[in-house]
Amino acid sequence: MEASEGRSGTSSSAVADWSLVFWTLCSVILPVLITLWCSFQRSRRQVLIRDIFRKSKHDWHYTDLFGQPSYCCVCAQHILQGAFCNCCGLRVSEGCLKKADQLFLCKEIMMRSNGGAHSSMPHHWIRGNVPLCSCCIICKQQCGTQPKLCDYRCVWCQYTVHDECMMDCLKTEECTFGEFRDLIIPPYYMSTINQMRKDKRTSFEKVVPYCRKHWMPVIILANTRSGNNMGETLLGEFKILLNPVQVFDLSKIAPAKALQLCTLLPCNAVRVLVCGGDGTVGWVLDAIDEMKIKGQERYIPQVAILPLGTGNDLSNTLGWGAGYAGEVPVEQILRNVMEADGIKLDRWKVQVTNKGYYNLRKPKVFTMNNYFSVGPDALMALNFHAHREKTPSLFSSRIINKAVYFFYGTKDCLIQECKDLNKKVELELDGERIELPNLEGIIVLNIGYWGGGCRLWEGMGDEPYPLARHDDGLLEVVGVHGSFHCAQIQVKLANPVRLGQAHTVRLILKSSKMPMQVDGEPWAQGPCTVTITHKTHALMLYHSGEQTDDDASSVSEQDHVREQTDEDV
């Protein structure tokens, strides 16, 4: 009996052990299988969504959470996540995506031809998800106040109207294109121009709105990789307000190609808004110079800036601010572009000829808009760029970028890699040699701002120096004693060493290797001769509404610029 009881006890213990192992395996394997199944279904769903996006005429983008209460334009259900069109503003749930493609037309960049020329078009109404605080054009009451899919918005003029106020006449009424009619390229204009080009006709002067007096179409060039990575959001917002044909992503199309749109528009009337840093602006201005070489001078546009970079000194000089982080609505940005005044910006040729290779190597040639420097600020830029190339994902914030600059500036204060620069270089201003004091850096300025918002030439403003100008054909040349001196200048605790103003600057690096930069693009340079001469003028737009504290001291300069512009006109 005792033996049989022992065997039965052992058997039940083994069963219990196996049962424990089984349930342990189930508790481990089952969640893994469920996770794998969900991952497979999600990836399959994403493939299907991407396929719909690729074939669709809408500019669909998927979001996991809408920024405001949203309703599906097909089933009218409240949705937290789904797809939205960057051009017409449609919002749909994932399940209704294919049906929305069949039911709703997107903004057309060109009207469908029916055999005749057009000079107008009806409203294009989309139901639901109207902008917050929008008012009905009929009864003047607020739209979109009910918690359901309601009310209409025209994708061109942005007018909104209540469901109960919508009348048949509104559905066929001619669209005026709203507040930004002078900036929008109408679809009927593009279709007419396209037909004329097929017929090999180039007399666009009689095409509406080409012949309209105040039409100043704008072209948006956005760099989605600049500074704080706001370019993607801005592209969508501009496509909503304008014709999508006017909005270009510079990560997908080069500025030279995008600017060919200017040749289909009125001469001397086009305005370009560059969304990016100073490097992106220089890229666009280089493309405009190529237009001059091609004989397209009469199509040259005027350039405005929406600063998305880190330093944004050119933008600051032209009154567009030190940086954009979404604090100003896109509508206000377009109003600023319409109201901006045209001015000129000097552009300079920087030629770097290596010593001992005059007959073997071509000199390096750069175009300068902002400044050239040799010394500690160029060293900071060189270290920053080397670090960013290794880990570009870390440099997506303007604050992080400036923190890295601060780190390398502090490091140079201790190491002083550029000391005794005055013994290594010779400086000539308009052919006259300048005796240099003990310096670590030399900066050649074309614009008023430097180093992310500092008016370097004027310094603390305690001495009567003429204000730096960006259209007088003169360069300002200053020296700095080191990184710590640069920091003191930026917080107005010190002045730079002013070396003079000149039309031509020549700098000879006699020995060793030194860091140099042109407009934030740095490199390490051996013995060489650097020659800076005037190259051309760029047509820019100046916004007088954006001023910093330093600008209060330069009001007279701005007035002079406006007076000069009026005289040129």
438 and 412 housed in the same domain: yes
Q: What pLDDT does residue 234 have?
A: 92
201-259 pLDDT, tens digit each: 777 777 777 667 789 999 999 998 876 668 888 999 999 999 999 999 999 999 999 99
**For residue 96, what are the domain limits?**
49-112
Q: What is the band of 275 on the pLDDT scale with cuts at 50, 70, 90?
A: very high
**358 versus 567: which is more confidently predicted?**
358
53-93 pLDDT, tens digit each: 788 889 998 888 898 889 999 999 999 999 999 999 999 99
67 and 129 housed in the same domain: no
329 and 385 housed in the same domain: no
**88 versus 567: which is more confidently predicted?**
88
Is residue 550 within 8 Å of residue 455, measured between CB atoms?
yes
| Domain edge (last residue) among 339, 361, 392 | 339
Q: Is residue 562 part of a domain?
A: no
Q: What pLDDT does residue 566 have?
A: 44
Residues 248, 241: Cα–Cα separation, whole Å:
14
163 and 190 housed in the same domain: no
CATH at residue 493: 2.60.200.40
Q: What is the band of 567 on the pLDDT scale with cuts at 50, 70, 90?
A: very low
**460 versus 329: which is more confidently predicted?**
329
Residue 454 has pLDDT above 50, yes or no: yes
Who's near 271: CB < 8 A, 6+ residues apart? 183, 216, 217, 218, 219, 301, 302, 303, 304, 337, 340, 541
- Strands 528-542 and 341-354 turn out to be antiparallel
Q: What pLDDT does residue 68 have?
A: 87
- Cis before 209 (ω within 30): yes
Q: Is 354 exposed, middle or buried (0-12, 13-18, 19+ CB in 10 A)?
A: middle
Q: Is residue 255 part of a domain?
A: yes
Q: How many CB atoms lie within 10 A of CB 542?
A: 22
Reading the block at residue 309, the tokens are 């970079």
Residues 171, 151: Cα–Cα separation, whole Å:
13
Q: How far is CA 201 from CA 22, 198, 264, 339, in A?
A: 81, 8, 12, 33
Q: Is residue 568 part of a domain?
A: no
Q: What pLDDT does residue 568 have?
A: 44
124 and 95 housed in the same domain: no
Is residue 204 within 8 Å of residue 270, measured between CB atoms?
no
514 and 409 housed in the same domain: yes
Q: What is the band of 553 on the pLDDT scale with cuts at 50, 70, 90?
A: very low
Q: What pLDDT does residue 546 have?
A: 47
What mean pLDDT is predicted for residues 359-381? Answer: 86
390 and 491 housed in the same domain: yes
Q: What pLDDT does residue 218 have?
A: 96
Q: What is the band of 562 on the pLDDT scale with cuts at 50, 70, 90?
A: very low
| Domains identified in the chain, total number | 4
CATH at residue 53: 3.30.60.20
Residues 72, 268: Cα–Cα separation, whole Å:
44
Q: What is the band of 199 on the pLDDT scale with cuts at 50, 70, 90?
A: confident
Q: Is residue 26 part of a domain?
A: no
DSSP symbols for 100-133: HHHH-----SSPPP-SS--S--B--EEES-PPTT
442 and 509 housed in the same domain: yes
360 and 437 housed in the same domain: yes
Q: What is the band of 556 on the pLDDT scale with cuts at 50, 70, 90?
A: very low
Is residue 533 within 8 Å of residue 372, measured between CB atoms?
no
CATH at residue 255: 3.40.50
Q: Is residue 3 part of a domain?
A: no
Who's near 453: CB < 8 A, 6+ residues apart? 311, 313, 316, 322, 490, 548, 550
Is residue 531 within 8 Å of residue 505, measured between CB atoms?
yes
Residues 226, 396: Cα–Cα separation, whole Å:
8
Q: Is residue 140 part of a domain?
A: yes
9: enclosing H helix or E strand: helix 2-55
367 and 275 housed in the same domain: no
89 and 192 housed in the same domain: no
Q: What pLDDT does residue 226 have?
A: 76
3-state SS assignment for residue 350: strand
**7 versus 540: which is more confidently predicted?**
540
Residue 309 has pLDDT above 90, yes or no: no
DSSP symbols for 128-196: S-PPTT-BBTTT-PBSS-SSSS--EEETTT--EE-TTT--HHHHHSBP--GGGTTT---HHHHHHHHHH
| Domain edge (last residue) among 96, 112, 128 | 112
Closest residue by Cα to residue 244 from 61, 93, 85, 123: 85
Q: Is residue 356 part of a domain?
A: yes
Give the least confident one: 111-125, 305-319, 336-350, 481-495: 111-125
Q: How far is CA 382 from CA 17, 454, 458, in A?
A: 66, 20, 26
Q: How far is CA 100 from CA 44, 82, 85, 323, in A?
A: 20, 12, 11, 38
Is residue 486 within 8 Å of residue 480, measured between CB atoms?
yes
Closest residue by Cα to residue 70 from 56, 84, 60, 57: 84
Q: What pLDDT does residue 57 have?
A: 87
Q: Is residue 559 part of a domain?
A: no
Residues 138, 46: Cα–Cα separation, whole Å:
42
- Per the prediction, the chain carries an average pLDDT of 83
Residue 2 has pLDDT above 70, yes or no: no
Give the least confident one: 130-139, 210-219, 289-298: 210-219
505-549 pLDDT, tens digit each: 999 998 888 899 998 888 999 899 999 999 999 999 999 874 444
| Domain edge (last residue) among 307, 339, 371 | 339
190 and 267 housed in the same domain: yes
Is residue 201 within 8 Å of residue 177, measured between CB atoms?
no
